Amino acid sequence: MDGRQELPLIANGYTTEIELRRDLVKFGKWLYRLGFMPGSSGNLSVRVNSECILATPTGCSKYLLKAEDMVLVDLQGQQLSGSRKVTSEIGIHLAAYHSRPDVNAVVHAHPPLATGFACAGRALDEPLCAEAIMMLGPVPLAPYATTGTNELARTLASLIPGHSAILMANHGAMTYGDSLLDAFLKMETVEHFAHICLVAHQLGSACPLEEPAIEQLLEARTKYLNNAR
């Protein structure tokens, strides 16, 4: 993109850096259209290799982003290339990549219902919905910390290894996975599950699944993930 020799990729299914950049654009637009990244909020990143990641820039509508807008940074957060500044939330992305070598992509967004739960001090950890148990597991609530700070990354660090999605108090949600598609689908499922939880509680008769049913779903999840590889 800027005269550099392209680096070898490890991200699933990609052979060139431009493919990664185009997928960041694509998924950014999808998240914007879903209302998960209004204004200039939210950010995405994808692992290029063991040394660096591509991330969205700060202060930009995800609907208007272009492939050349993406920023290359190393795993210490130092910007390697790009005409724009990297997202101010790069710290939470790096926390995921450092904690989970299996993670190749991170999405941070503000889906309205899930963010409503985060603003109400409510985790999405009730075993109400089979799909959410299989796709996500419990979604914990991280304590509040100021956006764009090292403190926010620290509040997430202990939760990242054991979960695939996290709510951030009074802020939003974060998902991560082995590809941008995986992280995107998890974010979509977080919002879908928040909607289901809200309706179930409004009806006044939310019925959590019992432990034997949860164990069966977790066994099915393991088989599903193995078959999907």
State both tokens at 145.
């910390």
Number of C-beta neighbours around residue 224 at 10 A = 12
Contacts 24+ apart (CB under 8 A), 206-210: 206/126, 206/128, 207/128, 208/126, 208/127, 208/128, 209/127, 209/128, 209/130, 209/133
- Catalytic residue flag (residue 89): yes
Number of C-beta neighbours around residue 201 at 10 A = 13
State both tokens at 52.
């660096």
Residue of 17, 89, 188, 191 marked catalytic: 89
What is the rounded distance in angstroms from the CA atom of residue 120 to the CA atom of residue 108?
A: 19
Angle between helices 180-202 and 112-119 (to 10 degrees): 60
Nearest Cα residue to 182 out of 216, 221, 136, 217: 136
Q: Which residues are catalytic?
A: 89
